């Protein structure tokens, strides 16, 4: 996938203003300028060009060739409206193209299919981009937010006539686009697996600095990944239904494979989310165990010094031995000081021996 501008995955998307009529195009002023590229091909011919004047675009669409119109950037509302009029796109679908907060979905119109998909990329955090796909008679129309996608291998297959794409219709091209998007999820989910492996090593080796934050970041990104991968699986599944007339029976066979890939991606996301939850529990358990070890050491120290402090306190009381022979007679005994120290050492040694017999000095 090409390089993309970095952005926080939780950044707010611009939504339609409340109260506007349905189908109103409200372009984000920060959106990328619109560029239109066309690849037109048949079994024996392929043409690739960038369209500078949209007025020439209707003449490129042919009944005998498949036309792929790739629109990059959603910053030109007039150009998007003209494209919608040329290809008879439903206003509600075109509105969803501009409002890029959509979840993956499939909408069926009388002569067209409209699919919303999400392209995912993982840098420091998970980044997403909406890609909208229209499938009509003899053409496929794609809308991307910005430059850089996962379709370059498909373009190369079209140019070099590798695979079935040059020998099939527009529905196969739409399948190939969906398959490329689903396949691009695998490097992302594998990167999540690598991060969880690193976190697992840190957790098991007792590292604690930033572990909770890193685990929470991975779990949040996996939740977002699942939120887009799950409806993507449903979209591919819906395309296999018999009532979707724009998809041929031959292409449905290939959609089964794409559906299998989507199911695998969802399963991996679920497994990694469970692993992230387990690592959080293990980290809390290890932290609690380390705290228990510290408390055990402190308890042993306090227990040893309690009788020593008691003995020192007793012999530190200022009783007058001349007033009574029972008041600290040891003070006048020549072995009184060694006796007190010996008694302290005996108590300390006894507690140490007791702790050793209990196994508290062994590494758990």
SS3 312: helix
Q: What is the mean pLDDT of residues 44-61?
A: 83
Q: What is the mean pLDDT of residues 305-327?
A: 76
SS3 20: coil
pLDDT, tens digit, for every residue of 297-308? 788 788 878 888
Task: Sketch the domain layout of the chain as residue ranges.
Answer: 35-285, 315-358
Quickly count: other Cβ atoms within 10 Å of residue 277's Cβ.
13
pLDDT of residue 67: 92
* pTM summary value: 0.76
Is the predicted pLDDT of residue 2 greater than 60, yes or no? no
Burial classification of residue 288, based on how many CB atoms lie within 10 Å of its CB (0-12 exposed, 13-18 middle, 19 or more buried): exposed
Range of lowest pLDDT (5-19, 38-52, 250-264) = 5-19
Domain 35-285 bears CATH identifier 3.30.460.20: yes
Is the predicted pLDDT of residue 181 greater than 60, yes or no? yes
Q: How far is it, in rounded angstroms, from Cα 80 to Cα 85?
A: 9
φ, ψ of residue 139 in degrees (nearest 5): -145, 155
User: What tokens does 362 get?
Assistant: 């062994």
**How does residue 60 score in pLDDT terms, banded at 50, 70 and 90?**
confident
């Amino acid at each position: 996938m090409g390089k993309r501008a970095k952005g926080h995955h939780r950044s707010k998307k611009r939504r339609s203003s409340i109260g506007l009529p349905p189908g109103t195009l409200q372009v984000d002023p920060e959106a990328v300028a619109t560029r239109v590229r066309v690849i037109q091909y048949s079994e024996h011919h392929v043409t690739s060009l960038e369209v500078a004047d949209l007025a020439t675009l209707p003449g490129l669409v042919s009944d005998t060739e498949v036309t792929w119109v790739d629109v990059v950037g959603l910053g030109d509302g007039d150009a998007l409206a003209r494209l919608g009029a040329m290809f008879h796109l439903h206003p509600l679908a075109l509105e969803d193209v501009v409002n890029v907060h959509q979840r993956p979905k499939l909408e069926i119109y009388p002569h067209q299919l409209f699919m919303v998909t999400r392209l995912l990329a993982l840098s420091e955090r998970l980044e997403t981009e909406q890609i909208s796909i229209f499938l009509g008679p003899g053409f496929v129309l794609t809308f991307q937010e910005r430059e850089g996608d996962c379709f370059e291998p498909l373009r190369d297959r079209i140019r070099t006539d590798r695979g079935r794409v040059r020998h099939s219709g527009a529905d196969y091209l739409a399948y190939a686009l969906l398959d490329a998007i689903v396949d691009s999820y695998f490097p992302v989910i594998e990167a999540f697996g690598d991060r969880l492996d690193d976190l697992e090593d840190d957790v098991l080796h007792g590292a604690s600095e930033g572990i909770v934050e890193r685990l929470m970041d991975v779990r949040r990104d996996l939740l977002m990944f699942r939120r887009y991968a799950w409806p993507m699986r449903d979209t591919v599944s819906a395309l296999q239904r018999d009532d979707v007339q724009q998809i041929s029976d031959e292409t449905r066979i290939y959609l089964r494979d794409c559906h299998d890939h989507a199911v695998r991606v969802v399963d991996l996301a679920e497994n990694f989310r469970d692993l992230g939850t387990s690592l959080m529990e293990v980290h809390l358990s290890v932290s609690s165990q380390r705290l228990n070890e510290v408390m055990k050491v402190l308890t042993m120290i306090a227990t040893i010094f309690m009788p020593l402090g008691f003995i020192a306190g007793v012999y530190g009381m200022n009783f007058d031995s001349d007033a009574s022979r029972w008041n600290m007679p040891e003070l006048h005994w020549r072995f009184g000081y060694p006796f007190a120290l010996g008694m302290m050492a005996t108590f300390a040694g006894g507690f140490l021996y007791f702790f050793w017999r209990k196994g508290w000095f062994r590494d758990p």
